Structure formats: structure tokens, C-alpha cells
Amino acid sequence: HKMGAEVKDLAVVEHAEVHHTGQENSVVVNTGNYESVMKGSELVLVNFYAPWCPWSKRMEPVWEGSAAIIHAKYPEDTVRIAKIDCANRETHKVCHKHHINAFPTVRVVRKGSDVNQRSDGRHEHTSYNGDRSPEAIAAFVDKQVSSMEVLKNGHGKGGIHAASARSHDLPQ
């Protein structure tokens, strides 16, 4: 039984080393800060990832580059770029709650919710499905922020949800 505990501890150490490669500019979300991160900004782009996933590994430098650009440009209460490790025992529940079934999945969270109510009464989760480059992600955020400004100033109906929700009716 002791051998099993050592193996489990080793897996945690390896996981931590994989997680902390390169400079981290994005906000690492855990169960302790989940609520404050999700509700602390008008807009949060969240990368739901798994460290073992090759696509998540490819996304990591892009995500951190995006976070550096966006966090330098916008105050914390406007936009945050965050990430949640879905392979972590603690945060796996958060990923399950958001119906994450592929990695990496990038969700758009507005005022604490990633749900977009549709006119037919159903809802869908708002995801970012654009190019995986820091420039494309930053341009997407710029567009979201400009549509939030339009809504705040009372110009336009439907607000940020109507302006940003491309129809992604993929089965969950």
C-alpha cells in the first residue's frame, strides 16, 4: 500500500511540473477562487484544459501570450484570461458543471455565466471557436469589450449576448 501512495504523490509532482512551464499570465482557477474570478470581471475567457492532452499543451503558450496582451490592455474588472485544469481532482467538478467534454475548450463567461439564453427558450454555452493565436484571441476580446461598451452606453439592443454569440449548436 505504501508503494501506491508514493506513486500517487509522484503523479502530483509530475502534474505540477507540467502545469508550471513557461510564464503564467493567465489566472489559474481553483475551487478557492472560482467564484471571485468568474464574477470579478465583466468578461472572462476560460481555457478548460488537461495537462496530458497534446492539444492543451499546444494551446498553453498561445493562451499565456493572449493573457499577456489582454491583461496589459484591460483592467481586471473588465477582462480576465483564466484557465482550469480539468484533470485536477479538485477542479474536475467545475469542468463537469460546465459540461466540458473536449480539451481544450474555451468558454466565454459574462458576469459569472457562460450560458446564453436563446429566443426559443433553450440555452447554449458560449464558446470561443476562433483561431488559436494570441492575435485572434485578443481581437475577439476587443470585439467583446466594444460590444459591452455599446450596451453600457445604451446603444443597441440585445447587448453583449446578441453581439457575440455565433450559433454553435454542437451536440453536448
Instruction: Identify whether 53 is a catalytic site residue.
Output: yes
The catalytic residue among 53, 115, 163, 165 is: 53
Residue 103 per-residue DSSP state: S
How far, in Å, CA of 29 to CA of 51, rounded?
14
Residue 163 and residue 151: Cα distance in Å, rounded? 10
Q: What is the DSSP string of 37-96?
A: HHHSSSEEEEEEE-TT-HHHHHHHHHHHHHHHHHHHHS-TTTEEEEEEETTSTTTHHHHH
State the catalytic residues: 53
